[in-house]
Each structure stands twice: as structure tokens, then as C-alpha cells.
Amino acid sequence: MTEELEKYILQHIDAEPEHLRRLDRDTHVRLLYARMCSGHLQGRMLKMLVRMINPRLVLELGTYSGYATQCLAEGLLHDEAHVHTIEIEDELEDFISQHLAQSPVRDRITLHIGDAVDILRQLNQQFDLIYIDANKRDYTTYYDLAMAHLRPGGYIIADNTLWDGKVTDPACHDAQTRGIRAFNDRVASDPRVERVILPLRDGLTIIRYSG
């Protein structure tokens, strides 16, 4: 993906909403690891996927600054549809809440701060769509957790599954790369699901649970 091609794509897709443009800028100014923010192209893709899947209950594992969270909520069609998002880093809570308060989809989002296992036990719900974008070392753990809370016919979308191309580099043995490789292998060998990897940004895997 060249800069020229990316610029061309962004000029020919839906515009980035102003509140998300502000969030993206604030993320890059105030937070570490701002590259983790989904951004314009991936945000519009997530909204479109939600429109296509048409879920009533969405779970996000890994909120970060809340950009993807708002895009997921923006795509909801049913009046009662809702996004639950879980972030383990409590230091991000004020930043996330500040921007959610300014969002037109704030009433469709519930932010949970803490460990996903504990929070999901309390929610005791099955989800139609689960978006995984958390610690890459633990992706297989998140996958197992997601499958336990996904209804038959539901979808998992996992971000960063090509990990800057490191998944195919035999010289890369860091914990994050190993975690993504293990996740990809687990999904590829799981007979319960259909799966496809999109080479969008850092890799986006779409998984359908057949049940």
C-alpha cells in the first residue's frame, strides 16, 4: 500500500465523521502506541461489516481509545442493538469516557474496565459479533473466550493477524508474533468455523461460527 494509493482510497470511500477525526488526532497527541487506533479506512470497514452482519449484541475485546468501538456502534441497525467493550487498562478510562460523551452513538455503547473473563461472567450473554483487538500474546485465549460467548451463526473479527508481515518471517520470535501465529493456526484448524484473512492494514480475519 503506497501513500498515493491510500490517499486515493480515502478520497473514494465514506468520509471520516468529524468526532472520529478529533478522536484520531487526540489519540495521536495524548496516548502511547497511537498506531493501534483503527483510523479512517478500517473504521469504515468495521461499520460496513456490522451493517452486513446486522448483529443485535456486539462485544469488543480491547477498547484502546474507543475509535473502533464507535465505528462498530455506528453500524448497528436494530434500535435495541448494543456494543459492550472491555478494556483492561484503567488508565485509559477517562480518555475513552471523555470521547464517548461527545459521540452520537454514546447511548449504544457500554464501557467495561477490567478483566474480560470476570466481566463476561457477570454479563452472562451470547453475542452475535465479537471484535478482538487486545494483547497479541493472548489471542488464542481471547479466541477460546470469544467462542464460549458467541452464538451459532455469529462472527468473530480479529485485528492485526498479519502483524506487519512478521507471521511469515522465520527470524521473528517475539511474544506478540508467536501469539498471532498460534491464533492463526488455531483458527485455521478449527472445524467449527469458516475463515478468511483480509490484507487490510495489519491483517483482518473474519470468522463465522457454524455451530
Encode 180-195: b = buried (16+ Cβ within 10 Å), e = exposed: bbbbbeebeeeeebee
Res. 185: pLDDT tops 90: yes
What is the total count of domains within the chain? 1
Q: Could you write out the three-class secondary structure of 3-18? A: HHHHHHHHHCCCCCCH
CATH number at residue 125: 3.40.50.150
Q: CA 206 to CA 173: how far, in whole Å?
A: 25
Copy the grid coordinates of residue 52. Answer: 452486513
Does residue 185 sit in helix, strand or coil?
Answer: helix
Q: CA 144 to CA 141: how far, in whole Å?
A: 5
The DSSP 8-state label assigned to residue 90 in this structure reads G
Res. 211: pLDDT tops 90: no
Predicted local confidence at residue 201, as pLDDT: 81
Grade residue 209 by pLDDT with cuts at 50, 70 and 90.
very high
pLDDT in tens, 67-125: 999 999 999 999 999 999 999 999 999 999 999 999 999 999 999 999 998 999 899 99
Q: Helices 18-30 and 67-74 meet at what angle, rounded to 10?
A: 160
pLDDT in tens, 132-143: 999 999 999 999
Q: By residue range, what is the domain housing residue 124?
A: 3-209
- pTM of the predicted model, to two decimals? 0.96
pLDDT in tens, 8-44: 999 999 999 999 999 999 999 999 999 899 999 999 9
